Amino acid sequence: MRDVAMVGAGMTHFGELWNLSLRELFAEAALAALESAGADHLDGLWVGNMSAGQFVGQEHIGPMLVEQLGMSGVPATRVESACASGGMALRAAWLEVASGQSEIVMAAGVEKMNDGADVTAVLASAADQEAEVYHGITFPGLYAMIARAHMAAHGTTEEDMAWVAVKNHRHGALNPHAQFRREITVEDVLGSSLVAEPLRLLNCSPVSDGAAAVLLVPLTRAHEFTDRPVRILGSGAATAAMALADRADPATLDAVMTSASRAYRMAGIQPAQIDVAEVHDCFSIAEICCTGAMGLTDGCNPAHAARSGFTALGGRRPVNTSGGLKAKGHPVGATGVAQAIEIFEQLRGEAGDRQVPDAHIGATQNMGGSGASSVVHVFARG
Amino acid sequence: MPSPRYWREIPARYRLEGARCKACERVVYPARSVCPHCRGRALEPMRLSRRGRVVTATVIHAAPDDFSAEAPYAMALVETPEGGRLMVQVVDCEPGEVGPGMEVSLAFRLIRREGHGGILCYGHKGVPLEDGT
Amino acid sequence: MAGIVGYGAYIPRNRITADEIARQWGKDPDSIRGGLLLQEKSVPGLDEDTITISVAAGLHALERAGLDPQRVGALYIGSESHPYAVKPSGTVVAEALDIGPEVHVADFEFACKAGTEAMFVALGLVESGRMEYAMAIGADTSQGAPGDALEFSASAGGTAYIFGREELMAEVVDAVSYTTDTPDFWRREGAFYPRHGGRFTGEPAYFQHVLSASRLILERTGLKAADFRYAVFHMPNGKFPLSAGKQLGFTREQLEPGWIVPTMGNTYSGSSPTGLAATLDVVEADQLVLITSFGSGAASDSFVLRTTELLVERRGRAPGVRAMLDGPRRYLTYGEYVKVREKIRMND
């Protein structure tokens, strides 16, 4: 297995992009990625997308999207793992290059959520249809139960969760691609309407359209495309029980812990060496659970990490400098790749006002459903 | 919900049929062919009791279209005495009252309708048990 | 000799008072309450219907009988609010109660007497020896049109009876039916609310049939009102059953346990069956009980029952009617009531 590097990246704005269709979103991000690397062909495309079928009635998007680039003929596959689709597409692309099979592969993600579908119902299809959704649970409802369990077991408060949203909005305000560029206060969060108790509107990532793409080549050829490649040091993935009922402890995300330790082992690092991370904050509680499961808070209570500034820009280990899913937006299939792009920019010193000084090692964590799948990547300056 | 899929679920939804692993004795609900705990392949059918205890719960305010008339409603992870776990609504009480430790009976109720012309879908919901019941 | 081996009732927990409805339509609450002798009624939840009520009642009946549901050879559900126009309620209830697949299932309809109709047929199957046990359920979630008199009384609930030949809680001494074509109350296919003939529903309909069927069975059995411990009549409102009872020579005291309509309302096919259950909950052993139903269209079924020791021994196995009527309940505003009864036109 050879070392792989990210050499180019491109993404659209995230938000309610009424004028752009699924294919146009993809084309914009993919063309920007190709241009940023000066690349003009692909050996393969892996595109993460949760639900083009349900959102816009379109399956079989692999060949459709590669055709949008004028590249029909290139092998193209859609990857689906609910909200972890993008991260799993990245992993598949990495494997194709690492194995020696291909030289230049694109990992992309795209989701078009605002074309009139019943979004609550579509997102709920990431949960267990027969056991959970049938009875009326929603996606926020599952995380609400996780939050309740976490609060009962660890004393996490609604204020702790609110601080995660506040921190991520502060970061998002500095991100030109973010869906929300305004800061919010703890009072704003605690006063927003209830979605599923205890989660309120401002604890929940939004409904977004968007696309993101990165280019992967063997490290030995990275210099042909950029003088600042970012190496993929490790990739780890794991699954856990689909239904919350089938997990021993609703407050623990086993898949996150396992995927992280697998990635760390491959990368040969300890979490303490990570300088900056993008973590799956689909709901405020998720960032708390995931940073804890990944060991990113150095033994400090993960529930307090946002409030204390530990995971804020300027803190010990900034998490979600992009604004996270909450402020940057969460076009489901695109998120995992957008996370990689944030780390790409951080490790190249191109993150502008969001720059973490001297960032050498970064990580992304992308999660599907209520934690049934998780994929972690570790990156280093090339 | 398409009819054949609904019909296959009837034993699990109407009669709370699950399975017990002969090797490790743990209960799975609904039934499946491989034990998720020990990967054993010998499972025998069993039925959950029509009662349980709430493990964790929430109140759904933003509901899917099919459930919008009932919102806000409580949803809970309920564990039966046999160790079977299910995710059900809890009704006939203030939704905010549903919390860990609450004892509920499992009552047969209408869960959803497929719009105006589709089939009616039944299942169980939790109903708080009064003291001494 | 065949009879009842188990019975069980279920009444939903929501209520609405007659006062609340009267206020909505600008009627004087006192005259409504006084005129109908009705205080409040049960209201089904959005997730309750004739099928779910039947399952709950059926479970209680099986508990009281201590019977393995696989031994029930027939299941009949009588209602005028079956959830499907075509597809029986009985098949869903059977599967939920673990009855069958070797079972005969049918849905019955005869306005408010569909419950006793199911009982009549279940009894016959067991008496003939064709089935060992047969279950009959009368349950309804019927609607009353907004602003109409029936809106005060149309309520929800149901009771299940299991008939057999052994270990009887009550023997059936006799059963009769009296039927004519009398168009006092009806609902056309596709119509949401029923219609009725106002005062025509009284004398020529309710009283004609209830009194005729009751007199017929008294004559056949050679019994008179004083021989009975209790009597139960169909309860479209509080007044009619008291008047019928009086005309047949029963005292007010004999009608008391079964006269549940003031706090329950009229559960249509569940009305007299639930009144009977309330009576069985308190009656002593070796006593005679009369039940006469009424279904618009029109007809009455009448049964004479003799209670046994087993009734007194076993009835504690499941909740009683009074416990459900007086137990945990929630009072709705008129707005909540019309929302759960789906009387509001929604955007589809």
C-chain CB neighbours of B111 within 8 Å are: 47
Chain A hits for B113, CB-CB cut-off 8 Å, are none
The answer to whether the CB of A109 falls within 8 A of the CB of A336 is yes
Which of A152, A194, A243 is opposite residue B87, by nearest beta carbon? A243
Cα dist. B36→A55, A240, B31, B41, B85 in Å?
Answer: 33, 11, 11, 10, 13
Do residue A148 and residue B73 have CB atoms under 8 angstroms apart?
Answer: no
Q: What is the dihedral of CA C145, C149, C152, C154, to 10 degrees?
A: -60
The pairing of beta strand C40-43 with beta strand C14-17: antiparallel
Selected residues 109-128 of chain B with any CB under 8 Å from a CB in chain C = 109-111, 115-116, 120, 122, 125
Position B133 scores a pLDDT of 44
Q: What is the per-residue pLDDT across C262-289, written as a single tens digit (0 to 9) for each?
A: 999 999 999 999 999 999 999 999 999 9
- Please tell me the distance in Å from B71's CA to the nearest CA on chain C: 11
Task: Identify the residue among B60, B65, B122, B124 best suited for mutation to test binding to A, counting A beta carbons within 10 A and taking the highest.
Answer: B60
Taking residue C251's Cβ as centre, other Cβ atoms within 10 Å add up to 12
CB-based burial, B111-132: b 16+ in 10 Å, e otherwise: bbeeeeeeebbbbbbbbbeeee
- The confidence band for B131, taking pLDDT boundaries of 50, 70 and 90, is low
When the pLDDT of each residue in chain A is averaged and rounded to a whole number, the result is 96
Q: Considering only CB atoms, which chain C residues are within 8 Å of B116? A: 348
C174-210 b/e (C-beta count within 10 Å ≥ 16 → b): ebbbbbeebebbebeeeeeebebeeeebbeebbbbbb
C-alpha distance from A236 to closest chain B C-alpha (Å): 22
Distance of CA A274 to the CA centre of its chain: 17
| Residues of A catalogued as catalytic | 83, 330
Test C327 with B69 for CB contact under 8 angstroms.
Answer: no
Question: CB-based contact (8 Å) between B14 and chain A?
Answer: no
Structure confidence by residue, pLDDT tens digits, B98-118: 999 999 999 999 999 877 788
Closest CA to A142 of A161, A117, A123: A123
How close A255 gets to chain B, by Cα (Å)?
15
Cross-chain Cβ contact C47/B108 below 8 Å: no
Q: Chain B residues with CB inside 8 Å of C327's CB?
A: 130
Beta strands in chain C (DSSP E): 3-10, 14-17, 40-43, 72-78, 104-108, 133-141, 156-164, 170-182, 185-186, 195-196, 230-233, 288-292, 297-307, 330-331
Spatial contact of A256 and A290, defined as CB atoms under 8 Å apart:
yes
Q: What is the dihedral of CA A312, A239, A234, A276, to 10 degrees?
A: 0
Beta strands in C24-101 (DSSP E): 40-43, 72-78
CB A225 within 8 A of CB A8: yes
- For residue B69, which residues of chain C lie inside 8 Å, CB to CB? 46, 339, 346
pLDDT at B115: 72
Q: Distance between terminal CA atoms of chain B?
A: 35
Decide: A374 and A256 in contact? Cβ < 8 Å: yes
**What does the CA dihedral C124, C127, C131, C133 come to, rounded to 10 degrees?**
90
Give CA separation, C26 vs C21, C22, C262, in Å. 9, 6, 21
Query: CA B80: distance to chain centroid?
Result: 10
Strand stretches in C165-296, DSSP E: 170-182, 185-186, 195-196, 230-233, 288-292
Q: How far apart are CA A139 and CA A134, in angstroms?
A: 12
Q: Which residues contact A30 (CB under 8 A, 6 or more apart)?
A: A10, A65, A68, A69, A106, A108, A211, A213
C1-36 pLDDT, tens digit each: 899 999 999 999 999 999 999 999 999 999 989 888
In this complex, the residue of B55, B60, B100 whose CB is nearest that of residue A136 is B60
| Residue labelled with tokens 């205080």 | C39
pLDDT-derived band at B3, boundaries 50, 70, 90 = confident
Token look-up 């690349």 returns A39
| Residue C18: other Cβ atoms inside 10 A | 24
Q: What percent of chain C is modeled with pLDDT above 70?
A: 100
Neighbours of chain A (3+ CB pairs under 8 A): B
Model pLDDT for residues A172-209, shown as the tens digit of each residue = 999 999 999 999 999 999 999 999 999 999 999 999 99
- Whether pLDDT at B2 is above 80: no
Strand partners, A108: A47, A213
Q: What is the mean pLDDT of residues B65-76?
A: 93
The answer to whether A120 contacts B111, with C-beta atoms less than 8 Å apart, is no
Q: Indicate the burial class of A210 (C-beta count within 10 angstroms; 0-12, 13-18, 19 or more).
A: buried
> Helix, strand or coil for residue C11?
coil
Characterise A257 by phi-psi region: left (phi > 0), alpha (psi -120 to 50), beta (else). alpha
Contact A137 B60 (CB under 8 A): yes
Chains near C (3 or more Cβ pairs under 8 Å) = B
Instruction: Give pLDDT tens digits along chain C (348 positions).
Output: 899 999 999 999 999 999 999 999 999 999 989 888 999 999 999 999 999 999 999 999 999 999 999 999 999 999 999 999 899 999 999 999 999 999 999 999 999 999 999 999 999 999 999 999 999 999 999 888 898 889 999 999 999 999 999 999 999 999 999 999 999 999 898 888 888 888 999 999 999 999 999 999 999 999 999 999 999 999 999 999 999 999 999 999 999 999 999 999 999 999 999 999 999 999 999 999 999 999 999 999 999 999 999 999 999 999 999 999 999 999 999 999 999 998 888 876
CB A348 within 8 A of CB A37: no
* Three-state DSSP class for residue A281: coil
How distant is the Cα of C296 from the closest Cα of chain B, in angstroms?
28
Query: Residue A293: in which H helix or E strand, if any?
Result: helix A284-293
Q: Kindly write down the DSSP assignment for every residue of A25-71, as one continuous string.
A: HHHHHHHHHHHHHT----SEEEEE-S-HHHHHS---HHHHHHHHTT-
- What is the Cα–Cα distance from C4 to B20, expressed in whole angstroms? 37
Q: Which alpha helices (DSSP H) does A99-135 contain, by range? A: 119-124
Partners of B127 in the β-ladder: B105
How far apart, in whole angstroms, are the C-alpha atoms of residue C226 and residue C207? 20
Chain B residues near residue C346 by CB distance under 8 angstroms: 69
Tokens 């920007």 -> residue:
A32
Chain C, 323 to 342: residues with Cβ < 8 Å from chain B are 327-328, 330, 339
Whether C60 sits among the annotated catalytic residues: the reply is no
**3-class DSSP state of A6:** strand
The rounded distance, in Å, linking the Cα atoms of A163 and A326 is: 12
Helix axis angle for C271-280 and C114-128, nearest 10°, is 60
Nearest to B110 among C47, C56, C346 (CB): C47
Q: Among residues A19, A199, A228, A278, which one has the least CA distance to residue B58? A: A199
How far apart are the C-alpha atoms of A302 and C287, rounded to whole Å?
71
CA distances A332 to A25, A150, A282, Å, are 13, 25, 10
Query: Is B90 in contact with B127 (CB distance < 8 Å)?
Result: yes
CB contact under 8 A, A136 and B89: yes
With CA atoms as reference, the chain B residue closest to C340 would be: B69
Letter for the amino acid at A221? R
Q: What is the pLDDT of residue A121?
A: 87
Contact (CB<8Å) C348/B116: yes
B30 has a chain A CB within 8 A of its CB: yes
CA separation for the pair A281, A286 (Å, rounded): 5
The values of phi and psi at residue C110, to 5°, are -165, 65
The residue of chain A with its CA nearest to that of B126 is A135
DSSP-assigned states of every residue in A172-203: HTT-TT-S--S---HHHHHHSPEEETTEEGGG
Task: List Cα–Cα distances, A104 to B17, B89, C311, in angstroms.
Answer: 52, 50, 83
Q: What is the SS3 assignment for C133-152?
A: EEEEEEEEECCCCCCCHHHH
Distances (CA, A) of C222 to B1, C214, C227: 57, 12, 10
- Partners of residue C95 in chain B, C-beta under 8 Å: 10, 14-15
Would strands A361-368 and A276-278 be described as parallel, antiparallel, or unpaired? parallel
Query: Kind of pairing, strands C297-307 and C170-182?
Result: antiparallel
Give per-residue pLDDT as tens, A1-42: 999 999 999 999 999 999 999 999 999 999 999 999 999 999
What pLDDT digit, counting tens, does each position of A99-111 carry? 999 999 999 999 9
Residues in chain C closer than 8 A to B104 (CB atoms): none
Q: Is B92 on the interface with C (CB under 8 A)?
A: yes
pLDDT by residue (tens digit) across A265-287? 999 999 999 999 999 999 999 99
Give A121→chain B minimum CA distance, Å: 6
Q: Check B66 against A121: CB less than 8 A apart.
A: yes
Phi, psi of C67 (to 5 degrees): -110, 140
Q: Which residue of B has its CA nearest to C344?
A: B69
Q: pLDDT tens across A94-151, in order?
A: 999 999 999 999 999 999 999 988 898 899 999 998 889 999 999 999 999 999 999 9
Which of 72-91 (B) contact A at CB < 8 A?
72-73, 75, 77, 85-89
